[in-house]
Amino acid sequence: MYLAKINYKKENVAQVLSSILKDVVDENTVVVCIGTDRAIGDALGPLVGTMLKNSDFKYPVYGTLDNPIHALNIYESIEKIKKTHPKGTFLAIDACLGSKNSIGNIQIRKGPILPGKGVGKKLPQIGSYSIVGIVDKIDENNRFSFNNVRLSFILELAETIALSLLLST
């Protein structure tokens, strides 16, 4: 279920998202950022995680540029996070593929993220809530790569998501 669907270029996007996130974020919130900086399009999660950590976000944050949560370590990472925060309300953040028209949209959803789905991987889902940034279009011929994603675009999306979370607390 979508709580928000808005393009990162819209006026006051961070304020709009933060007003929705105020109803999502609480004292049990644990932010889990998924992705890797080894692929620009997939660096959204770790960039958001790093920005939140560097801004002294008051809730626990996992998945940064220094310690990413990605396909190779996601099972043990999620298990460890859930053990550390047994009463946690998990807010997962990840990059996503979508239609060409939805590139640049930020979506807040009730429910988990399905990491790796856009590139054909079956990985464990995480999150009571999720935030996804649509970074590229699904290419039916070659679903296994992000096309031509610019780092400046991913950085802008990450800054918008991080600012939205910071404003919501």
Q: What are the backbone angles phi and psi of residue 84, rounded to the nearest 5°? A: -70, -30
Strands (E), the chain: 2-7, 29-33, 61-62, 89-98, 105-110, 129-137
| Interval 12-29: pLDDT, tens | 999 999 999 999 999 999
Q: Does residue 56 carry a pLDDT above 70? A: yes
State the pLDDT at residue 158.
98
Q: Does residue 143 carry a pLDDT above 60? A: no
Cα–Cα distance, 109 to 93 (Å, whole number):
10
State the pLDDT at residue 115.
78
Q: Does residue 139 carry a pLDDT above 80? A: no
Q: Does residue 141 carry a pLDDT above 70? A: no
| Interval 59-95: pLDDT, tens | 999 999 999 999 899 999 999 999 999 999 999 999 9
Q: State in Å, rounded, how far the first CA of the chain is from the last one.
A: 23
Q: Does residue 145 carry a pLDDT above 60? A: no
Q: Tokens standing for 23?
A: 């109803």
Average pLDDT, the chain: 92
Tell me the domains of the chain and their CATH numbers.
2-168 (3.40.50.1450)
Q: Does residue 109 carry a pLDDT above 90? A: yes
Q: Does residue 142 carry a pLDDT above 80? A: no
Q: Is the dihedral of CA 34, 61, 93, 1 positive or negative?
A: positive
Cα–Cα distance, 17 to 121 (Å, whole number):
29
State the pLDDT at residue 148.
77
Q: What average pLDDT does range 87-114 have in this prediction?
A: 94
State the pLDDT at residue 120.
72
